[in-house]
A and B are shown apart, each in its own frame.
Chain A
Amino acid sequence: MKKEIEFTINGKSRKLTVKPNELLLNVIREDLGLTGTKYGCGTGECGACTVLIDEEPVLSCLTLAITVDKKKVTTIEGIGTDENPHPLQQAFVETGAVQCGFCTPGMILSAKTLLDKNPNPTEDEIKRAIEGNLCRCTGYIKIIEAIKLASVRMGGRRK
């Protein structure tokens, strides 16, 4: 039985009819055409599919689409604009925190929740916030540096 759901995606309200077993990851990528959210494993082990539901990071590959009914979903496409990128996006560019870029959307979203809740995280807190996001390219160092830089720019850290 298909079900109609209504939710906010990157600030815009949407109605969709989905199958009860449809995964959020597929709805985002296939139905909404937002391909910034990536498939890395499909089993909750890599974090590439991370999106925010009501500002909390979730793994969209393990989340049923029907559960976002009446909720607010944010993907990487929804946190900044070309003219006005999110400080995390800017910091990832400048510090060299991006290589192949496949883990980047999930990384940035996990980091965003961290900074929203805790504007001045310690290195350990940063590491913990992104420990579910695997990156095979960077060795994480530059990603941690980028999150620190964004935290300074967002007013969290006083140097």
Chain B
Amino acid sequence: MKYSYMGKGVPRIDAFEKVTGTALYTGDLRFPGMLYTKLLKSPLGHARIVNIDTGEAEKLPGVRAVLIGKEAPYKFGIYMGDKTVLASGKVRHVGEPVAAVAADTEEIAERAVELIKVEYEELPGAFDVLKAMEDGAPLVHENMSEYRHAPFIYPKSGTNIANHFKLRKGDVERGFKEADVVIENEFYQPQVQNVQMETHTSIGQWLPNGQINIWTSAQSPFAVRHLLSVGLGVPLHKINVVVPYLGGGFGGKAGLHWEPLVVLLSKKAGGRPVRLVMTREEQFYTTAVRQGFYARIKTGAKRDGKITAGAFFYVWDAGAYADYGVNITRAAGYSCTGPYEIPHIKCDSLTVYTNHPYGTAYRGFGHPEFHFATERQMDLLARAIGMDPVEFRLKNAAVPGRITATGEKLREDAGRVDECIKAVVEAIGWGKKAPKEVNGKLRGKGIAALWKAPAMPSSTSSSAILKLNEDGSVTLSISSTEMGQGTPTGLAQMVADELQMPIEKVKVVTKRETDFSPYTWQTVASRGLFMEGNATLDAVRNLKEQVKTTAAELLGVPKKELEVAEERVFALGRPDKSIPLAKLATAGIFPDGRGIGGPVLGYGYYTAEGLTNLDPETGQGLPALMWTFGAQGAEVEVDPETGDVRVVKMASAFDIGRAINPLLLKGQVYGGIVQGIGSALMEEFIFDERGALLNKNLTDYKICRTQDIPEEMVFIPIENPQRNAPHGVRGIGEHPRISIEPAIANAIYDAAGIDLFEIPMNRERVWRALRKKGEKRAFA
């Protein structure tokens, strides 16, 4: 074959635009008459809004619209319709917007916001997730039972519990009786922020004729359109959502966020376009963040290393709104064991409202949180039965043929966690003799495994359109957005390979626009290359079918003898029977001038296969389209005096099925690992006792900078192809971000003999643990 792009490190097709500063993001768009928005935010965590006086603000010249919650009573939400765009009746977290102003300039809007007077009556708040579950705790949503929600969500009315996911497999009590050793531990992860470099940005316009136009930094244009239509009660086809490039998403821009607000402001301002760019501070506490997490895990094993039972109790601090949180709770619930077979399982995973900023998806969708707990527990249990943690993991690994927590028997082509673990063991030098102290710092190694499947509705679908152009090139339209992951480049490679044409002749439309683009559910869940890939391959097949049908007539050759390659349709071994694709793009022409066929537009789709709902009482069923398995190995250095932890080396292996583009794949892996290190060692929301976030800027809330990255990162791709995947590929977007925390925590134990149960493992926490253990060098 002349053209072969599979497995090649083709540079991303959008790179040139991005290095020259010409790539457009939502905040770069300009529209005539555009207005600018500023928000008035709540200083209180939980309070009744007694009165809002906007009179002065409205009088300020240049102010075009002032909106308060009472005027926008619409409830929005993808899984749980619990959120209004402005607080109405009461505020539920510090930073929640109470009023919004659209004005000619940001300066005027800002001044107008200062003129709005709000009278609050403070209420007792729910600032601790475990206390929020107790009887008599202040309710964050008194009317939760009236909220519209997805059928697989189980709220408990009269409480703060927005979802209770249950999983029951086997007989957990019997399992614990069979065990020789049973251990129980508690773990904790704080709320954190996605910290996309581009803050949430939306422009909305509600025209007098009812047409609604939106330009937004959203991951999923069709989800925005759908949720807005349902929430506002306006016809779906009257909404057009445009998504240009995104400056990072990491789950935080999935679903719907501030689009309804700018649209409602526009309506009030007579249809002028209204823009909102979140400030960095608002990005921290006004918009969505990652949920906090508490876990209590009890696991039993036999002395020979076989796990007999596991009881998993997961509590998610959803913050003030649980729209996305309820599904994270569910996804973590059905994956609760991590990549191991456990015969007897009980899992309760609960979403709990508190008066914290509202939670949403963040790269890994709950899996980085619960894997910290499960993979720490694996090490602790291995130690308790006196077995090497690697051997213990391999013994219980969820390899093909074994049964998952939901009762799924893993297929032969499901991918291999055991191979990932072994690859990491090799790369990190597990079990090899190494100095325990280097330059006065304690060294150690740790390992953690992982798995994750896309969390999505069972019948999720994607589609693709492939247009043949008059010069024989093709244009691919998909609706999976480009936020840095590189899916469009991978798809261009697939199209070029299938059509055997140079990749330069494959264009992927950069803008997503619901009026024109083919439907896709969302750009989330590490599903893009798999789902859009299958849809794209289907579109290629359809395009080939169309050109062959016309060419068969023109060339007088049966269709089945025709091939497509090098921008031609031809009969094999008959050079005279050949026609350029360019000559078929608008219509074929017979020698006498008659036309045949018509413009060629390949269409393809893919719908997730065989997934089912889960039983509400037992959680049994098939939720996973594919599992991506992996393992992480960390080598760390602990400063016995200060408690400082430095990651010296990371070794990571993922069974990605097939590496379509190793260059972009590595980008996902290294980027994910470094995000994980940030969460493991430094990232954490710190609140005061009344729920005010104290570190809402990038100085007080640190993410990894260049000096925080490991000296060495090794990535080992494992390639066991998945049968129903395009070229065998599995999702990888989120996985490198999972199990970093436990790999580092396990390594810290190996280095310093201290067991950590809380994230982040910052200097103070490590130092305290060292002191407690009696490390003499940990000076007071």
Contact = CB atoms under 8 A, between A and B. Distances in A.
Interface of A: 29, 33-43, 45-46, 48, 75-77, 80, 82, 85, 88-90, 92-96, 98-105, 108, 126-128, 130-131, 134-142, 144
Contact of B245 (A39, A101, A130): A101
Interface string B190-201: 000011111100
A103 to B, nearest CB: 5
B187 to A, nearest CB: 25
Given A100-B198, A139-B673, A139-B674, A42 B22 contact: no
Nearest to A45: B698
A38 B15 CA distance: 16
A36 B197 contact: no
Contacts of A128: 706-707
A145 B395 CA distance: 40
B231 interface: no
Contacts of B663: 95-96
Interface string B475-507: 000000001111000000000000000000000
Contacts of A131: 705-707
B671 A138 contact: yes
Contacts of B709: 139-141
B673 A89 contact: no
Given A40-B280, A46-B197, A99 B486 contact: yes
B111 interface: no
B757 interface: no
Contact of A96 (B483, B666, B703, B704): B666
Contacts of B703: 134, 136
A51 B763 CA distance: 35
A97 to B, nearest CB: 8
Contacts of A76: 19-21
Contacts of B675: 136, 139
Given A36-B20, A137-B667, A101 B706 contact: no
B248 interface: yes
Contacts of A100: 196-198, 245-249, 483-484
Contacts of B249: 100
**Is chain A's binding surface mostly helix, strand, loop or mixed?**
loop
- Report the interface size class on chain B: 35 or more
Contact of B697 (A43, A90, A101): A43
B667 A92 contact: no
A94 to B, nearest CB: 6
22 contacts: A37-B21, A40-B197, A41-B697, A42-B279, A43-B698, A46-B280, A76-B21, A92-B19, A93-B12, A96-B9, A100-B249, A101-B14, A101-B23, A102-B196, A105-B19, A108-B19, A128-B707, A136-B194, A137-B667, A139-B673, A139-B709, A140-B706
A98 B698 contact: no
Contacts of B706: 126-128, 130-131, 140, 144
Contact of A137 (B20, B30, B245, B671): B671
Nearest to B483: A100
B21 A34 contact: yes
A66 B23 CA distance: 28
Interface in B194-251: 194-199, 245-250
B198 A82 contact: no
Given A35-B25, A101-B23, 8 more contacts: A29-B28, A41-B280, A90-B19, A98-B18, A99-B667, A104-B19, A139-B671, A139-B713
The 5 closest A-B pairs by CB, nearest first: A36-B21, A101-B18, A102-B247, A100-B484, A139-B674
A134 B706 CA distance: 8
A141 B20 contact: no
B197 A45 contact: no
Given A96-B9, A138-B671, A140-B709, A80 B20 contact: yes
B11 interface: yes
Nearest to B482: A100
Contact of A142 (B245, B246, B670, B704): B670
Interface in B664-687: 664, 666-667, 670-675
B699 interface: yes
Contacts of A77: 20-22
Contacts of B721: none
A112 B436 CA distance: 41
Contact of B485 (A80, A88, A90, A99): A99
B671 to A, nearest CB: 5
B634 interface: no
B21 A75 contact: yes
A142 B666 contact: yes
Interface in B248-297: 248-250, 277, 279-280
Contacts of A130: 706
B779 interface: no
